[in-house]
Structure 1
Amino acid sequence: MKAAAFDYARAGDLAEAVRLLGEGEGSAKLIAGGQSLGPMLNLRLVRVGLLVDIRRLEALRTVEEGEGTLRYGALITHSEFEDGRVPDAGNGLLRQVGGGIAYRAVRNRGTLGGSLAHADPAADWISAFTALDATLQIEGPAGRRSLPLAGGLLGAFTLDLGETEILTAVEVPRLGAGARWGWHKINRKTGEFADAIGVALLDEERGFCRVVCGAVEGPPVVLAAVAEALRAEGRQAGRALVPAAVAEALPALDPVGRHLHVVAVQRAIDQVFGR
């Protein structure tokens, strides 16, 4: 199938993109990499009146270093993380995650902002950046605002982003030099979406520990009790709490799905202590 007819406009700057979204009166959508929206348009799962192209907005391709933070422009591609062409706030985590997304052709065009805005529960970035305690920078007709990613994911494919707002950047606290991480994704074959994701971070320098269970039916789940046990008592204490924590957080999972998520999280924890 092919997309239903729509109008097309290429925004010259961010202000024009916001204006065009407003003029679309709810029927306009942004496109950058188009790796999710393109197929959805062709399958007519989505119909738009106006497609606003922001691919060439260089202001959304910058990386800014702040006091203990890195701010990534929304148009940075997966392959730029994979190839190490941008600094890695996760001490190698972002390069690992970026290199495991779909296939190289997708990674060359797909963008960080597009993936987070699409909010597919099985996508990699929403779990990785939830673990990193990322904050989204958003711009719209009312001005700029910040949105913690962990609280801004309202459900499957639903980010707290207005129809006339644009996700412009992602700000991440830099991990300390000695911080350790684990990332484990379970999928049937390379390039497919995940069946289960586990992420674990331990940054003793900042006193920060987070454990995330991803690729669920909604937003990634932060396993706070597991993280606290991991930080205070170590690997075995944190690992032992995972089955009960996953069962409590995801009661609708069938036994096989629950087991996959438990294994993904436990293997991520093992990586933290195996590095």
Structure 2
Amino acid sequence: MKAVAYELERVRSVNDAWSALARDEFYKAIAGGQSLGAMLNLRLAQPERLIDLDAIAELRASTVQGDELFLGAMTTHAAIEDGKVPDVTHGMLAHVAHGIAYRAVRNRGTVGGSLCHADPAADWVSAMAVIGATCDVVGPHGTRGVPAEQFVRSAFEPDLNPGEILAQVRVPRFSANARWSYRKHCRKTGEFALAIVTGVVDPDRGIERLVLGALDGPVTAHCGPDLYARLADPAARAALLDASESGLSYERRAWHGDLLASVVADLGAKQ
């Protein structure tokens, strides 16, 4: 099957991008195209016009300002994997990037494109939520910051209004004593995850955060300083899964349970 006929418009600034998208609800932005390209060929997406963001240099810029990394939405997974982006997470960003699909996909796929596609099984959806990142959205009504854990409203539904684009992701700097763990279950290498569990403990910032991914959207658990100590108890882990994954199959619950136990062990070992 081939894509339906569509027009392609290449824009060169963020303002041009949201202005073009605001002209018609059937216009759609294309970033890396690693997910949208397949959807076009299967005719799951049938836009009248694609707004190509590839030539917008400011969307590829990544700088550290104060205690935040300003990560351009068009930054590729490969750029993060290869260390071309400043590391403010003690290697977590590079680790997540390295595990995405295959190198050919990582060369073209982008952080912003992945988040806006809003596939719950995509790595950046869960990773940015557990990191506590903020998505800066630009559109006809200005700029607004959306916490990453709220950016994916539900499966394939990002928090983007007509005419808006994701310009950058603000990633907070981890303190020297921060610890992280990221684990996922795939049937084979390169596939989207069937289960994701990831956690961050940053005692200097008073943060303990856990995310269960590959669900309808990222499920985030915030707790006090005893979160991972309590989850060392298998019964506490089972209770968390019961509360977070009601209605899911036994197999998927088991995958999340195994990953949760591994994440708790990882973070305990790093203390």
Q: What corresponds to 1:3 in structure 2?
A: 3
Structure 1: distance between partners of 2:218 and 2:231: 22
C-alpha contact (below 8 Å) 2:115/2:124 kept by paired residues? yes
Q: What corresponds to 2:44 in structure 1?
A: 45
Shift of 1:11: 0.2
The SS at the match of 2:226 is helix
C-alpha contact (below 8 Å) 1:200/1:265 kept by paired residues? no
Q: What corresponds to 1:272 in structure 2?
A: 267
Q: Percent identity?
A: 42
C-alpha contact (below 8 Å) 2:34/2:105 kept by paired residues? yes
Deviations 1:169-217 (A, max 9, x none): 001111111211111111111101111111011111111110111111x
Q: How does 1:1-275 map to 2 (within 5 A)?
A: 1-23=1-23, 25-216=24-215, 218-225=216-223, 228-230=225-227, 233=229, 236-237=232-233, 240-275=235-270
TM-score (norm 2): 0.95
Residue type at the aligned position of 1:253: L
The SS at the match of 2:205 is coil
Q: In structure 2, do the counterparts of structure 1 residues 63 and 240 end up closer, same or farther at CA, with 3 Å as the change threshold?
A: farther
Q: How much is the aligned-residue C-alpha RMSD, in angstroms?
A: 1.5
Structure 1: distance between partners of 2:49 and 2:95: 36
Shift of 1:246: 1.1
C-alpha contact (below 8 Å) 1:235/1:270 kept by paired residues? no
TM-score (norm 1): 0.94
Structure 1: distance between partners of 2:235 and 2:115: 31
Deviations 1:18-53 (A, max 9, x none): 111122x10101112100111000100000111111
C-alpha contact (below 8 Å) 2:12/2:57 kept by paired residues? no
Structure 1: distance between partners of 2:251 and 2:225: 26
Stretches of 4+ moved more than 2 A in 1? 227-231, 233-237
C-alpha contact (below 8 Å) 2:8/2:50 kept by paired residues? yes
Structure 2, unmatched stretches of 5+, are none
Structure 2: distance between partners of 1:263 and 1:228: 23
Paired positions, count: 270
C-alpha contact (below 8 Å) 2:121/2:194 kept by paired residues? yes
Structure 1: distance between partners of 2:50 and 2:232: 51
Shift of 1:264: 1.2
Structure 2: distance between partners of 1:2 and 1:274: 51
Shift of 1:236: 2.2
Residue type at the aligned position of 1:166: I
C-alpha contact (below 8 Å) 1:60/1:168 kept by paired residues? yes
